[in-house]
Amino acid sequence: MTPSPKSTGKPAPIASVSEAERAIANLNMIMDRLVDTVEQETARVRAGKLSDAVQNDEAKVELARAYAAESERVKVAKELIAKDLPDALQRLRQRHGAFRVLLQTNLQVLATAHAVSEGIIRGVSGELARKQTPSTYGATGKANTPGSKTSQPLAVSKSL
């Protein structure tokens, strides 16, 4: 016996044009909410409000899950949609392209924030190691730089 879509947790496949229209409308609604969430996150990270940026993490994960599920459902019915709703399919493709650009921007902003924060932590760590290491000079008369074995571990409190 083949399991029903409800027993496997998978949504029912699209079997008609009206179901395809509803699925596309649902996917567009999910994308609207996901775009809004990602834009908010990007703006908050750009503004340096990292603690505010993570407020929508759970919602973003849930929307991403719904987006992936509904996208897969539409992808499986691609032939039906291409045949009966070619304009809707074209608009959906254009929308996905714009969404990819938004996600790329978001990833770049997050990567920049990560690099900046990592640079700050490395700078603080290096400065602490420099202050704790005695100043000595090598055979050439140049100051020795502190080695990696002389530095102390750095603890960061996230609650500040």
pLDDT at 27: 95
pLDDT at 56: 87
pLDDT at 42: 93
- Reported as a single tens digit per residue, the pLDDT across 65-84 is 999 999 999 999 999 999 99
If you compute the radius of gyration of the chain from its CA atoms, what whole number of angstroms results? 26
Decide: 45 and 109 in contact? Cβ < 8 Å: yes
The conformation of residue 85, written as its DSSP 8-state character, comes to -
Q: Is 17 exposed, middle or buried (0-12, 13-18, 19+ CB in 10 A)?
A: middle
pLDDT at 3: 41
Q: What is the pTM of this model?
A: 0.70
pLDDT at 159: 58
pLDDT at 38: 95
Structure token pair of residue 90: 């074209």
Q: Which of 80, 71, 78, 75 is nearest to 28 (CA)?
A: 71
pLDDT at 73: 92
- Please identify every stretch of the chain with a pLDDT value under 50, giving residue numbers as ranges: 1-7, 160
Q: Which residue has the tokens 């879509």?
A: 5
pLDDT at 158: 64
